[in-house]
Structure 1
Amino acid sequence: MFCTKGNFGSPVLIVHDTALTMHKSNSTPKTRNIGVLLFEQFSNHALANAVEPLRAANSLARQNLYDWQFLGIENGTVTSSSGLPVTPDDTLSNHPGGELLLALPSYGFRDQGTPQTLRALRAARTRFKQIAGLDMGSWLLAKAGLLDGQRATIHWDELTHFAERFPEVEVREDRYIGQGPILSCGGASTTMELMLDLIGQHHGTMLRLEVAALFMHGERDPAEIAPVRMGDNQVVQAAVAIMRRTTEAPLPLEAIAKRLGLGLRAMEKHFISATGQSPRSVYLSLRLGVARRLVEQTRQSVTEIATRCGYEDPSALTRAFRREFGMTPRDMRKSLS
């Protein structure tokens, strides 16, 4: 079931810019307002992959990093290709604008480029800092003249035809375009990739990895990975996948690096480059993140939680927990009751 707002509720803890788990901070990141423009026969899969990462980011951050509204060109219910009805909050023309507009046409997109739609998209460009064409969205954006001289991609079934129809667009075979005033991606899975990229741009690599982990996005068997071909983010993602599976019995960092076919120093360089943190710090944050979830969601004792998170001594967990979250596990549990 889709909610029509991105509100998560009152914050409990404040997110640190690049932390995997939530640190205390004196500043609160601004809420980014996002419009989600739906057309008849939109892809329900693409819609879920657009808004669920935003919902997850809010949940992990314990605050409202993103707020979104569903929009239509006209008032009235819009139905997905699989029959899911969504009633938009408002029309695009009435929306005041914000950080990002996600345009999501799928089937029937050629017939949806009406004068009314094209006018509304051109007007929206002045109110939104960025516009993203999801699935077949680039077709409508190009027809509105918003992609002239811009890089863009689209669903690969339409890539050749799109390039022929709009020669003024710099058409790429990329999975997504995540930089510039006009963004684009070509389908449901690439929608997830684009949204994760944006979360990383806004709030740091570690929150992006944490959101991706909730959907098991990018999880791979380390034996399948060729480290020579991996960039910083890929190395960190692979290492974090191993760390997640070993929070109860933490591995030496050297062992993790070896499983990735790397030396420890090489892995450390990848982590510093991608996250600004050492592998040891990230591993610790992961373990404490598990501890926080167990404190919040279970009635396990601190001793049991310590064991689940790789601590032989519950007092050691309590000290680390206080440093990370500003309160002890017992105090956090009391604050939630």
Structure 2
Amino acid sequence: MQANKKKTEIPKAIAPKRHYVFVLLDRFSMLSFASALECLRIANRMVGYDAYSWTLMSEGGGDVTCSAGTTFTSEGDLDELQRDDTIMVCGGVNVQAATSKKLLAWLRREARKGVRVGGLCTASYVMAKAGLLDGKRATIHWENIDSFAEEFEEVTLTKSVFVIDNNRMSTAGGTSSIDLMLKILANDLSEELANAVADQLIYSSIRTDQDTQRLSIPTRIGVRHPKLSLVIQKMEANIEDPISPSVLAQDVGMSTRQLERLFRRYLNRSPKRYYMELRLQKARNLLMQTDMSVINVALACGFASPSHFSKCYRSHYETTPYRERGSKSGKP
């Protein structure tokens, strides 16, 4: 079927021509990569000429496999770029293993020339490891927030869907690449063009850098109860120094017994149990995504005793923290 093609009129004299270099890491997220690339392709179609061009690169060149198992062929190794190019590092599963010394050295060299650098999905880790986010704001996929915050204290980590801090950009993964690229298109060309691209993508809710990446607590737990949501929010914000159920109850104007009944009714567990599961989930993230010692992981998750931590971990995950750490290399 022939679609009606309506081009958004942009004065060619002011429209920039920009080149993007997508660096594909092993097991990168195809959704994050494709979302960004499609925005550029559609923008070109809407304005009627190649305002944007792109190249796919990878360390060593050749084929790269995404997290879904599909193989992509890159167009070359990590070559020298022009100063006005933009690098988009595409991360995904187990980004630490995909981060090499060669990649970090290349990023530092290109950044020193003034090249803009962005990280899609988990690639903020690569940028931070290269020192490109020191003193800057950034974001990363929510599953990697705990480990990132522990390793890179000099980076101001947010929970936004995307962040642009001068010539550094980062996204939280998934469709957040679309939100970042629409913002870039609006800055480069016009708000009208960005909205036209969103329309083509059937993307009706454009998010800004003020939007957070995770679903609200009521949506996540499937319960809309303001006091329950507030207590869970306080729990999530105080993992390293847990708050007692009595204090949590007092903070929301309830008795400890009322809080207990509230959790039993809606979540089928006690406040203490729910809090413990939150702490153990963070511990598992740190064990799988960082090289922190088991003792330090325990302390970061509010356990004063390594033996108590190990006992709780085994009870919940049916394995010990040490064995979990040992299985890290085989993580899917």
TM-score bracket, shorter-length normalisation? 0.5 to 0.7
Q: Structure 2 matches for 1:222-301, cutoff 5 A? A: none
Q: Post-superposition shift, 1:129?
A: 3.1
**Whole-Å Cα distance in 1 between the matches of residues 197 and 31 of structure 2?**
17
Please, which of 25, 34, 49 is the counterpart of residue 20 of structure 2?
34
Q: How far does the alpha carbon of each residue in 1:191-241 deviate from its partner, in whole angstroms, 9 at most, with x for none?
A: 111011111110010000000001111259xxxxxxxxx99xxxxxxxxxx
> Match of 2:87, SS?
strand
Q: 1:152 to 1:28 in 2, by over 3 A?
A: closer
Q: 1:54 to 1:171 in 2, by over 3 A?
A: same
Does the aligned pair in 2 maintain the 1:151–1:170 contact within 8 Å?
Answer: yes
Computed over aligned residues only, the root mean square deviation of the Cα atoms, in angstroms, reads 2.4
Partner of 2:250: none
**Whole-Å Cα distance in 2 between the matches of residues 127 and 21 of structure 1?**
35
User: Which amino acid in the other structure matches residue 133 of structure 2?
Assistant: L
Q: How far does the alpha carbon of each residue in 1:22-48 deviate from its partner, in whole angstroms, 9 at most, with x for none?
A: 337462623101100001111111111
Partner of 1:282: none
Does the aligned pair in 2 maintain the 1:93–1:124 contact within 8 Å?
Answer: no
Does the aligned pair in 2 maintain the 1:106–1:135 contact within 8 Å?
Answer: yes
Please, which of 54, 62, 68 is the counterpart of residue 82 of structure 1?
68
Partner of 1:144: 130
**Whole-Å Cα distance in 2 between the matches of residues 179 and 196 of structure 1?**
16
Q: Post-superposition shift, 1:83?
A: 2.0
Partner of 1:190: 176
Aligned residues: 205
Does the aligned pair in 2 maintain the 1:70–1:88 contact within 8 Å?
Answer: yes
Q: 1:122 to 1:174 in 2, by over 3 A?
A: same
Q: 1:52 to 1:215 in 2, by over 3 A?
A: same
User: Which amino acid in the other structure matches residue 62 of structure 2?
Assistant: G
User: Which amino acid in the other structure matches residue 96 of structure 2?
Assistant: R
Q: Post-superposition shift, 1:69?
A: 0.3
Deviates more, 1:89-98 or 1:179-188: 89-98
Unaligned runs of 5+ in 1: 1-12, 14-19, 221-229, 232-337
Partner of 2:119: 133
Partner of 1:324: none
**Whole-Å Cα distance in 2 between the matches of residues 64 and 179 of structure 1?**
26
> Match of 2:121, SS?
coil
**Whole-Å Cα distance in 1 between the matches of residues 70 and 14 of structure 2?**
36
Q: Post-superposition shift, 1:99?
A: 3.2
Higher relative contact order (CA 8 A, sep 6+): 1
**Whole-Å Cα distance in 2 between the matches of residues 24 and 149 of structure 1?**
36
Please, which of 148, 152, 157 is the counterpart of residue 166 of structure 1?
152
Q: 1:89 to 1:97 in 2, by over 3 A?
A: farther
Report whether the alignment pairs 1:45 with 2:31.
yes
Does the aligned pair in 1 maintain the 2:16–2:188 contact within 8 Å?
Answer: no
Please, which of 73, 81, 98 is the counterpart of residue 59 of structure 2?
73
Report whether the alignment pairs 1:59 with 2:45.
yes
Partner of 1:23: 9
> Match of 1:131, SS?
strand
TM-score normalized by the length of structure 1: 0.57
Q: Structure 1: which 4+ aligned runs deviate by more than 6 Å?
A: none
Q: Post-superposition shift, 1:50?
A: 0.9
Does the aligned pair in 1 maintain the 2:120–2:171 contact within 8 Å?
Answer: yes
User: Which amino acid in the other structure matches residue 216 of structure 1?
Assistant: I
User: Which amino acid in the other structure matches residue 201 of structure 1?
Assistant: N
**Whole-Å Cα distance in 2 between the matches of residues 24 and 32 of structure 1?**
15
Partner of 1:317: none
**Whole-Å Cα distance in 2 between the matches of residues 26 and 82 of structure 1?**
39
Please, which of 95, 115, 118 is the counterpart of residue 104 of structure 2?
118
> Match of 1:70, SS?
strand
Q: What's the % identity of the aligned pairs?
A: 26
> Match of 1:98, SS?
coil
Partner of 2:143: 157
User: Which amino acid in the other structure matches residue 57 of structure 1?
Assistant: A
Q: Post-superposition shift, 1:111?
A: 1.2
